Amino acid sequence: MRLAKFPRVALGHLPTPLEPMDRLSEKLGGPRLWVKRDDCTGLSSGGNKTRKLEFLMADARQQGADTIITQGATQSNHARQTAAAAAKLGMACHILLEDRTGSNDENYVLNGNVLLDRLHGATVSKRGGGTDMNAEMANLAETLHQQGKRPYIIPGGGSNPIGALGYVNCARELSEQADAMGLKIDAFVHATGSSGTQAGLVAGLAAIQSDVHLLGIGVRAPQDKQESMVHDLAQRTADHLGLPGSIDRSAVRANCDYVGAGYGLPTDGMIAALKLLAQTEGLLFDPVYSGKGLDGLIDLIQKGYFDGMQNVVFLHTGGSAALFGYPETFGLPGYTS
Ligand SMILES: *Cc1c(COP(=O)(O)O)cnc(C)c1O
């Protein structure tokens, strides 16, 4: 692995724990289920973006940046972790939030991650759904530049070949952790959105020649689009790493059957999965990503997708701060929108 040559700042509590989910495994009656706790990366209530930010923020620093610009959906976990990382490194942070759901619910637009973005001191501004967010970030960078600032743009989700190095690192970490425990992991499942997590894992697993069956559960795009996004970024990440050869297209698998009506819109399966994990394992997942990922995991176990496999690991990508933006979603008495 050639990771050591890339600049990196320590932001996360790594390695994150790998824990069995025995009550859930027993309940579902399939393979033994484990959880890789990337919700415990430590920065501002944790999540998967912290691993990416270790490489992205180091690059920003190396380029002499004093201001970070990024974008995401209203309840973006990426925006929240970026705001925290910028605060920790003494940089200013500008966040552009795209209204992808059309919700005017007060909790959705002000609570959860939005509250935390502001507590970390980020400048938050909102844009309508369907806005060209990359163009908006470029415009803002130009304005800040004219004011004498040195802006650095981090793409949505931190998903580029630099950010994806964080998940190349996670692939290595998980494999070493499993070896040390004498555990053979058959499959690794997680929610996939802007694709950097899966692309980094695909490149990282290729780098260590692992044959773990990696499966992303989509939360936004249809399967073809999601898989080509992941494959394209995995290839660019492998090139950035200096890995020889090309990324096998068949190593990229996304199941996009659990998106429901759209990005950030709750589904019954997500609600049931999220409650099941909260009540069997004491774990909190999020309504936008990891809850839909779990819905996919549980449904695919029941459909026999993992038959013949012994150990399946779910990557907990974090996001529980977003729960407070969706309090009325879970049908609990007293919470109405
Ligand atoms: C961003 C995010 C994901 C998806 O990761 P990508 O790298 O964008 O595909 C999954 N879960 C949570 C909680 C996230 O915030």
Q: How far is the CA of 47 from the centre of ligand 1 (A)?
A: 8
Q: 249 with 229: CB under 8 angstroms?
A: no
Overall average pLDDT of the 45-72 stretch: 98
Query: Up-side HSE of residue 54: CA atoms within 13 Å toward CB?
Result: 25
Q: Quote the crossing angle between the two packed helices 223-241 and 196-207, to the nearest 10°.
A: 50
Alpha helices in 249-289 (DSSP H): 268-280
Q: Evaluate if residue 167 carries a pLDDT over 70.
A: yes
Catalytic residues: 76
Closest Cα to atom 15 of ligand 1: 77
Overall average pLDDT of the 281-290 stretch: 98
Q: How far is the CA of 157 from the centre of ligand 1 (A)?
A: 7
Q: How far is the CA of 292 from the centre of ligand 1 (A)?
A: 11
pLDDT tens track for 85-115:
999 999 999 999 999 999 999 999 999 999 9
pLDDT tens track for 290-316:
999 999 999 999 999 999 999 999 999
pLDDT of residue 337: 62
Closest Cα to atom 1 of ligand 1: 157
Q: 72 with 108: CB under 8 angstroms?
A: no
Q: How far is the CA of 197 from the centre of ligand 1 (A)?
A: 7
Distance CA 24, CA 306 (A): 15
What number does the ligand 1 atom closest to the CA of 164 have?
7
Mutate to test the pocket of ligand 1, among 48, 50, 75 (most ligand atoms within 8 A of CB): 48
Q: Which two tokens stand for residue 241?
A: 């790493």
Cβ-based neighbours of 165, under 8 Å, separated by 6 or more = 3, 6, 52, 55, 200, 237, 240, 241
pLDDT band at 224 (very low <50, low <70, confident <90, very high): very high
Q: How far is CA 38 from the centre of its chain?
A: 9
Using CB distances shorter than 6 Å, the residues near ligand 1 are 47-48, 77-78, 157, 159, 191-198, 286, 289-290, 317-319
pLDDT band at 1 (very low <50, low <70, confident <90, very high): low
Overall average pLDDT of the 187-216 stretch: 98
**pTM (whole model) above 0.75:** yes
Distance CA 10, CA 334 (A): 42
Q: Evaluate if residue 142 carries a pLDDT over 80.
A: yes
Q: How far is the CA of 305 from the centre of ligand 1 (A)?
A: 23
What number does the ligand 1 atom closest to the CA of 163 have?
7
Mutate to test the pocket of ligand 1, among 289, 292, 294 (most ligand atoms within 8 A of CB): 289
pLDDT band at 336 (very low <50, low <70, confident <90, very high): confident
What number does the ligand 1 atom closest to the CA of 318 have?
13
Mutate to test the pocket of ligand 1, among 159, 189, 231, 317 (most ligand atoms within 8 A of CB): 317
Overall average pLDDT of the 146-159 stretch: 98
